[in-house]
Amino acid sequence: MAVSSIPRQTLMRLPVYLAYLRGLGAQAPVHISSASIAAALNLGPVQVRKDLACLPCTGRPKTGYVTAELVHALEHFLGYDDTANAIVVGAGKLGRSLMSYSGFARYGLNILAAFDSDPALAGTQYDGKPILSMDRLVDLCGRLGVHLGIITVPAEAAQPVCDLMVRGGILAIWNFAPTRLTAPEDVLIHNENMASSLAVLSRHLAERFKL
């Protein structure tokens, strides 16, 4: 799995800073310091300062960042001002809810189409987006230059889907299937596992009630 030049944990915090700054709305101060962002988000000030150092805009020692510039730098860095096309494989409940999630537009993500191995679904539409048969995946990704793929199939079907995506030129895979995938070095796989999150939560409850 390829490693970005910026640590994954840093990348994952940047949208949190942006959401906080956007949330200030009309109350946003003209200047904001990394220390006050850290305090508001309950994070360490050194960590916030280091995270923001990967952006091209620089804070002044006393006044901090110009808030509007920081928001713009974060949006640009995160690619929110530039739309990335994506495809979803697996048009089940989860796949369909991602297809119809309008919030992705704010993050510069546009889902073009879904693919499904179920012949009853292929050729239909969901929320105005086509659901296509699997044999069109490689060709369509190549032709339209789609590089981001989302996997929402059951665990046992995920590796063949990943292989197809790689053949179609997909370079970043958002994997919602509860399994590990193998892909060439230059393809990034990011696992989103709801069951893993639930494991953390339910274990906490189980341990609480054992006491």
- Chain CA centroid to CA 197, Å: 16
Q: How far apart are CA 191 and CA 120, in angstroms?
A: 28
With respect to its own copies, which residue has the nearer C-beta, 9 or 62?
A: 9
Residues 121-160 as x/- pattern, contact with its own copies by CB under 8 A:
--------------------------xx-----xxx----
Position among 50, 143, 167, 180 found at the interface with its own copies (CB under 8 A): 180
Residue type, 131: I
Position among 42, 61, 120, 128 found at the interface with its own copies (CB under 8 A): 42
29 binds its own copies (CB under 8 A): no
Position among 67, 107, 112, 138 found at the interface with its own copies (CB under 8 A): 107
With respect to its own copies, which residue has the nearer C-beta, 65 or 96?
A: 96
**Residues between 4 and 23 that touch its own copies (CB under 8 A):** 4-6, 8, 11-16, 18-20, 22-23
With respect to its own copies, which residue has the nearer C-beta, 9 or 61?
A: 9
185 binds its own copies (CB under 8 A): no
β-bridge mates for residue 59, sequence order = none
Phi first, then psi, for residue 116 (nearest 5°) are -150, 145
With respect to its own copies, which residue has the nearer C-beta, 16 or 144?
A: 16
Contacts to its own copies by CB under 8 A: 2, 4-6, 8, 11-16, 18-20, 22-23, 25, 41-43, 77-79, 84, 93-94, 97, 100-104, 107-109, 147-148, 154-156, 171-174, 178-182, 186, 188, 190, 192-208
